[in-house]
Amino acid sequence: MIELSITQDEWPTEQQADGMVVQWKASEGDTVEQGQVIVEIVIVKTTMEVPSPANGVIREICVTKDKLFKPGTVLARIEEAD
């Protein structure tokens, strides 16, 4: 199981600002491909499209739309395809 998160190194600011999920472009149970954009987030006025790190199925969305999160928070869990 792969846990999708944004690390502190990927965070677009050195501040400890929260990020927010703007839109999920995939749902639980959807099959996704590596590199496919699956969620759009905003961090301090910077919008980022977050791709799937692997081919697989989204098993759990951990942070829903309009919810705040910190660096390292698990946004979703993806079961890798065989």
The domain limits of the chain are 25-71
Does pTM top 0.95 for this prediction? no
Q: Are 22 and 65 in contact (CB under 8 A)?
A: yes
Question: What pLDDT was estimated at residue 81?
Answer: 82
Round to whole Å and give the CA distance between 43 and 48. Answer: 8
pLDDT tens per residue, range 10-33? 777 666 788 999 999 999 999 999
- Of the candidates 32, 46, 40, 35, the one whose C-alpha atom is nearest the C-alpha of residue 77 is 32
